[in-house]
Amino acid sequence: MYLFQDESQDKPQEANVTASLEFVLLGFADKPHLRWFLFGLFLSIYILILMSNGIIFLITKLDPALQSPMYFFLSNFSFLEMCYVSVTLPRMLRDLGTQRRRIPLVACATQMFFVLELAGTECLLLSVMAYDRYVAICHPLHYPLIMNHRLCVQLVIGSWITCIPFQMGQTYQIFSLPFCGSKEINHFFCDIPPLLKLACVDTSVNEMLVYIVAVLFVIVPFLLILGSYSKIISTILKLPSAASRSKAFSTCSSHVMVVVLFLGSGSITYLRPKSSHTEETDKVLSLFYTILTPLLNPVIYSLRNKDVIMALRKLLCK
Could you write out the DSSP letters of every residue in the chain? -EEE--TT-SS-EEE--TTT-EEEE-TTTT-GGGHHHHHHHHHHHHHHHHHHHHHHHHHHHH-GGG-SHHHHHHHHHHHHHHHHHHHHHHHHHHHHHH---EEEHHHHHHHHHHHHHHHHHHHHHHHHHHHHHHHHHHSGGGHHHHT-HHHHHHHHHHHHHHHHHHHHHHHHHHHTS-B-S--EESSSS--HHHHHTTBSS--HHHHHHHHHHHIIIIIHHHHHHHHHHHHHHHHHHT-SSHHHHHHHHHHHHHHHHHHHHHHHHHHHHHHS-GGG--HHHHHHHHHIIIIIHHHHHHHHHHHT-HHHHHHHHHHHH-
Do residues 179 and 203 lie in contact, with contact meaning Cβ atoms separated by under 8 Å?
A: no
How far is residue 194's CA from residue 180's CA, in Å, rounded to a whole number?
Answer: 13
Do residues 63 and 308 lie in contact, with contact meaning Cβ atoms separated by under 8 Å?
A: no
The pLDDT, as a whole number, for residue 218 is 87
The pLDDT, as a whole number, for residue 76 is 93
The pLDDT, as a whole number, for residue 14 is 41
Length of the chain counted residue by residue: 318
The tens-digit pLDDT sequence of the chain (318 residues) is 344 444 434 434 444 444 458 888 888 877 778 889 989 999 999 999 999 899 889 888 888 888 889 889 989 999 999 999 999 999 999 988 888 889 999 999 999 999 999 999 999 999 999 899 899 888 889 999 999 999 999 999 999 999 999 999 999 999 988 887 778 888 889 988 888 888 888 888 888 988 898 888 888 988 898 888 888 888 888 777 777 677 667 667 777 777 777 777 777 777 766 666 677 777 877 888 888 888 888 877 766 677 777 877 777 776
The pLDDT, as a whole number, for residue 125 is 93
How far is residue 194's CA from residue 204's CA, in Å, rounded to a whole number?
Answer: 14
The pLDDT, as a whole number, for residue 112 is 94
Residue-wise over 264-300: b if at least 16 C-beta within 10 A, else e? Answer: bbbbebbeeeeeeeeeeebbebbbbbbbbbbbbbbeb
Do residues 25 and 103 lie in contact, with contact meaning Cβ atoms separated by under 8 Å?
A: yes
Do residues 49 and 87 lie in contact, with contact meaning Cβ atoms separated by under 8 Å?
A: no
How far is residue 42's CA from residue 216's CA, in Å, rounded to a whole number?
Answer: 31
Query: Residue type at 281?
Result: T
How far is residue 287's CA from residue 275's CA, in Å, rounded to a whole number?
Answer: 21
Q: Which domains does the chain have, with CATH numbers?
A: 2-317 (1.20.1070.10)
Do residues 286 and 293 lie in contact, with contact meaning Cβ atoms separated by under 8 Å?
A: no
Residues contacting 119, CB < 8 A, separation 6+: 84, 217, 266, 289
